[in-house]
């Protein structure tokens, strides 16, 4: 719908460039062989930035270490999937990922069902594939740690809180800055937080999902309006294409 409203195209490359620039979530599905069987998503491991002791409060050195590891990952073939994700994930990836990698996809890994999104069309009996991030990869991009809470379960297992430098998609999806694209308000917030991390070390804290939801309220009606727009757009497309 956004493509039609803005009259983007007709060249695919120009269309994708606009989607990337706007921070939209999108896919470039490609038909390929159907999956030979159910492929279960990889089990979530301990977050890639590791477990830290109770009271852990990272500073600039820790942020730079995270940023280095994140950017190495984003420069790999998997960086393409980050751009497709849109929102905060795409914003973190946009200055690192080569746009041509997005235009050239899906990758061979995705077409063979590795870390991939698969959409099955029963009418054509065809599978359509694209790259998709795993939970572990999302955790790395957002700068996620497991922080000991000091609480022990009944089974004697230590409990951990998930905290991150940047909001994970589950928090971003329902926040007041998520209007379906990367807005000027979102960019202002992003630059302000990044400046605080770099210029006032230790003053900007990593946050849990609940803390992110509280911090990113802004316009509380924005998520509801965005979801309503998605529903109306889907309804229109179904009627237009007679799904």
Determine the Cα–Cα distance for residues 63 and 197; give it in Å rounded to an integer. 8
- In this prediction, residue 223 carries a pLDDT of 52
The SS3 assignment for 158 reads: strand
Question: Which residue from 181, 178, 159, 243 is spatially nearest to 216, judged by alpha carbons?
Answer: 178
Determine the Cα–Cα distance for residues 66 and 60; give it in Å rounded to an integer. 10
- In this prediction, residue 68 carries a pLDDT of 97
Determine the Cα–Cα distance for residues 71 and 93; give it in Å rounded to an integer. 8
Contact yes or no for 89/141 (Cβ under 8 A): yes
- In this prediction, residue 89 carries a pLDDT of 98
- In this prediction, residue 48 carries a pLDDT of 76
- In this prediction, residue 167 carries a pLDDT of 97
Per-residue pLDDT of the chain (243 residues; tens, 9 = 90+): 667 677 777 788 888 999 999 999 999 999 888 776 555 556 666 667 999 999 999 999 999 999 999 999 999 999 999 999 999 999 999 999 998 889 888 998 888 888 889 888 888 788 899 999 999 999 999 999 999 999 988 888 899 999 999 999 999 998 989 999 999 999 999 999 999 999 998 899 999 999 998 888 754 555 555 555 556 556 655 665 555
**Spatial CB neighbours of 129, under 8 Å, sequence gap ≥ 6:** 29, 30, 31, 32, 106, 110, 111, 113, 116, 117, 118, 119
Contact yes or no for 142/160 (Cβ under 8 A): no
Q: What is the DSSP letter of 97?
A: S
User: What are the φ/ψ torsions at residue 31 (nearest 5 degrees)?
Assistant: -70, 135
- In this prediction, residue 241 carries a pLDDT of 56
Contact yes or no for 33/108 (Cβ under 8 A): no
**Spatial CB neighbours of 214, under 8 Å, sequence gap ≥ 6:** none
Determine the Cα–Cα distance for residues 108 and 206; give it in Å rounded to an integer. 36
- In this prediction, residue 99 carries a pLDDT of 86
């Amino acid at each position: 719908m956004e493509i039609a409203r803005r009259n983007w195209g007709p060249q695919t490359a120009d269309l994708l460039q606009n989607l990337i620039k706007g921070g939209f979530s999108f896919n470039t599905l490609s038909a390929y062989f159907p999956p030979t069987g159910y492929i279960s998503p990889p089990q979530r491991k301990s977050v890639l930035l590791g477990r830290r002791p109770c009271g852990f409060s990272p500073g600039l050195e820790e942020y730079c270490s995270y940023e280095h590891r994140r950017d190495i990952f984003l420069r790999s073939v998997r960086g393409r999937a980050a751009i497709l994700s849109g929102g905060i994930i795409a914003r973190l990836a946009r200055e690192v990922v080569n746009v041509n990698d997005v235009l050239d996809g899906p990758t061979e890994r995705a077409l063979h069902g590795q870390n991939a999104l698969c959409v099955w069309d029963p009418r054509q009996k065809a599978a359509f594939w694209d790259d998709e991030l795993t939970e572990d990869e999302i955790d790395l991009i957002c700068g996620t740690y497991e922080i000991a809470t000091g609480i022990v379960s009944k089974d004697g297992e230590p409990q951990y809180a998930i905290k991150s430098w940047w909001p994970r998609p589950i928090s971003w999806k329902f926040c007041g800055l998520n209007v379906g694209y990367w807005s000027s308000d979102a960019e202002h917030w992003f630059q302000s937080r990044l400046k605080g991390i770099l210029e006032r070390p230790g003053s900007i804290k990593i946050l849990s999902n609940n803390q992110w939801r509280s911090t990113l309220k802004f316009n509380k009606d924005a998520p509801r309006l965005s979801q309503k727009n998605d529903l109306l757009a889907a309804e229109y497309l179904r009627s237009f294409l007679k799904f």
